[in-house]
Structure 1
């Protein structure tokens, strides 16, 4: 499909039926390319690729899945199988009572006050990113790599602020290796085929993950044995946390699995959000000019603080629009536990129900000029249906770190736009490809000119 120069890059969706083998090979290259184009025009699409599946885009039906009947639509087996080797039975994977007590314990960690207290760490990482970009001189910079580095700086500093014998480079490498391996997702996984059906190319090396877990356990035990000075980081807050209902506290293994969840999720997804935001502001220089004026007016040459985030509404709108167009989790998969009905259609127990977040964000009936980059559409958040925009999910299982990620993204984007003008590098347009997350394949290559 030819790319329209008036709109940013997009994934060509399916316009004709594909057999199971073509679907499989397509999904191995880019999971989003199995989404039928009619999913951007219909409330629900049902198909059969070996096994019956459903894609749901109707906000009311999505609310039903994520809120009203949450217990009847658990995360799919594939989601758990892919992530359990890294993050165990942590918040992201656990179900039922085991999830609820962990959520109650961890929720205060991400309170507004605690997140605001971590803003100086985010600002310091943003300043280091600006210094690296300036030092690169006139040559083009891959903003994807730069944002991965910057967000890992943040997550490692807010997780293990005092070092704690935690080898950051080793952890970073282990996470990247794990994501690369876990990302070898099969269409069979998405459609909920049983575990005994062979998955082509699935190799899960556990050695790096074992070493990372051992390192994390050692750091947790070291911290627990002494008091930490200064602003509490995530580890301090989790160590002090307890379930207000049962008074249960997390064991070392539970602490480790949840910390690794925050590191993996908080690092990768925020980096992608920022990389796509950088691509978009370079794509539309008028948007960039307006955002830069806002950032310079608020920051006036100083580092961004927590108090500035609310004063940067247009920067936030750019991030919201980037998340609509390029959600890090492009498809969410659930398994129906009981018979049900969605959009007047029968759902049988055991069937896979997908929410294609990518198609939802580009749905013609939900968004005007759905493929266009228009940050101002988020100027009035109340005008947007809550279940039409789900970059962080919704319902009781909404992402616990959403406010943390948004504060971090606003601080970093405002800092960079206040210092540089970014322009695209001809011939280096990224391609949106989702394996495990929606990444700009080829990187986000931009020239940065100091302003």
Structure 2
């Protein structure tokens, strides 16, 4: 295992703060039923503490599994032998009812043509063209936070609303009669219940065996898909005007190799994927970043000084993003401590050797990003909040930090998410000083993503611009 040498800290704090909230990892083996109970409460609670100290941990809970934390082995899985380690059937079974066979779930040739088709929509030029939508949403968020006065605000709910505004406007800028609230409710309902792993998943039973929780939410998902299909068809028949939004870009997209365009169903499944991923992960990153800034006032003051020096009191724009390096470091460190996709699962398709250990065809290979980001051999004081770790990205092993995955299947929306997060965080920090609401610390809980259970309750005090 390679060892990262973090860059030296610019200065030592007189009284370093305690570590921010974290997930207690397992210190004793668990059986199938205990694992099921733990997973339905918090998927990360099945990670053994030793996973933060070893390159690889293996076991059996219904099926053989291996947790891999070694950067070299992770490169092997994610880049060198991509087709030999597709996403696990459990992951696909959890998500397929909501997002069909979109780019997130597809494998092999089906995934490749979809990726080629949608990639141009996420070019840097297109992302910068969409930045004004992000700036407007940041402005509205600041107004809502300011209206709360001295009352604490749940910044998690506020960031969910803000980022859903962004992805809705980016996706359906023309309105199309699209029921945004209905789509949001259907997605949240599905994740809340049907997204939880069942005993059938742990035992490896096939997808055609019904999972009771997923039957409950089926009608809401069907209605959501019907509304999305109607919106797509209306857009097909309309004349394009103004700056193209994501739907325009995808309708115009074609596979450069075959010339194939996406059908309405394929467009819908991918749009719903982008809507889910495009607001959920960014909302989580912002929520955790605001929690961490309230947790560490020194970091918050430094980030605010940078934001005000660049922005004054206006909202950040796409042109400001590259001039806010410390804001970006705060977000990178939030993604390290609380990665939204904190545990990835793959299924080995053929026999292999990882870290000198046998892997058999059919074994589950887990990539516990949460443990990787807090690994004792890869990070100095890994549970501490230190944005300056990312002052020199070259000092960090590429495969020791995987908030967006890596390899050919790296998250296609990573640049979109980071641009949005920098714009919103800088705008809010320039205008408010955030402090914790006593006794209401968030609890890191992962079902499909790593959420702050209980919310991120902070008080927001307006601040004046520094002269």
**Band of TM-score, shorter chain:** over 0.9
Aligned: 1:352 with 2:364:
yes
Q: Which aligned segments of 4 or more residues in structure 1 are displaced greater than 4 angstroms?
A: 190-204
Could you tell me the TM-score, scaled by structure 1's length? 0.97
Aligned: 1:337 with 2:387:
no
Task: Specify the alignment match of 2:327 in structure 1.
Answer: 315
| Preserved contact between residue 94 and residue 196 of structure 2 (Cα < 8 Å) | no
Aligned: 1:120 with 2:132:
yes
Task: Specify the alignment match of 2:88 in structure 1.
Answer: 76
SS at match of 1:275: helix
Q: Distance in 2 between matches of 1:168 and 1:281?
A: 31
Report the alpha carbon displacement of residue 16 of structure 1 after superposing the two structures with TM. Answer: 1.3
CA-to-aligned-CA distance 1:228-286 (integer Å, 9 cap, x gap): 21111000000000000000000111111111100011111111111101100000000
Task: Specify the alignment match of 1:157 in structure 2.
Answer: 169
| Preserved contact between residue 23 and residue 187 of structure 1 (Cα < 8 Å) | no
How many residue pairs match? The answer is 448
Match of 2:435 among 423, 439, 442: 423
> Unmatched 5+ residue regions in structure 1?
none
> Unmatched 5+ residue regions in structure 2?
1-15
Change (3 A) 1:35 1:198: farther
Task: Specify the alignment match of 1:170 in structure 2.
Answer: 182
Task: Specify the alignment match of 2:3 in structure 1.
Answer: none
164-173 or 123-132: which moved more?
164-173
| Preserved contact between residue 282 and residue 422 of structure 1 (Cα < 8 Å) | yes
Q: Distance in 2 between matches of 1:248 and 1:79?
A: 28
Task: Specify the alignment match of 1:214 in structure 2.
Answer: 226
Task: Specify the alignment match of 1:183 in structure 2.
Answer: 195
11-20 or 70-79: which moved more?
11-20
Map of 1:41-80 to 2, 5 A cutoff?
Answer: 41-80=53-92
Report the alpha carbon displacement of residue 207 of structure 1 after superposing the two structures with TM. Answer: 1.0
Map of 1:24-423 to 2, 5 A cutoff?
Answer: 24-186=36-198, 189=201, 192-195=204-207, 203-423=215-435
| Preserved contact between residue 8 and residue 280 of structure 1 (Cα < 8 Å) | yes
Task: Specify the alignment match of 1:21 in structure 2.
Answer: 33
Could you tell me the TM-score, scaled by structure 2's length? 0.94
Q: Distance in 1 between matches of 2:239 and 2:211?
A: 47
Q: Distance in 2 between matches of 1:113 and 1:334?
A: 33
Change (3 A) 1:333 1:204: farther
Report the alpha carbon displacement of residue 196 of structure 1 after superposing the two structures with TM. Answer: 6.9
SS at match of 1:256: helix
| Preserved contact between residue 59 and residue 66 of structure 2 (Cα < 8 Å) | yes
Query: What is the root-mean-square deviation in Å for CA atoms of aligned residues?
Result: 1.5
Q: Distance in 2 between matches of 1:292 and 1:7?
A: 22
SS at match of 1:440: strand
SS at match of 1:53: strand
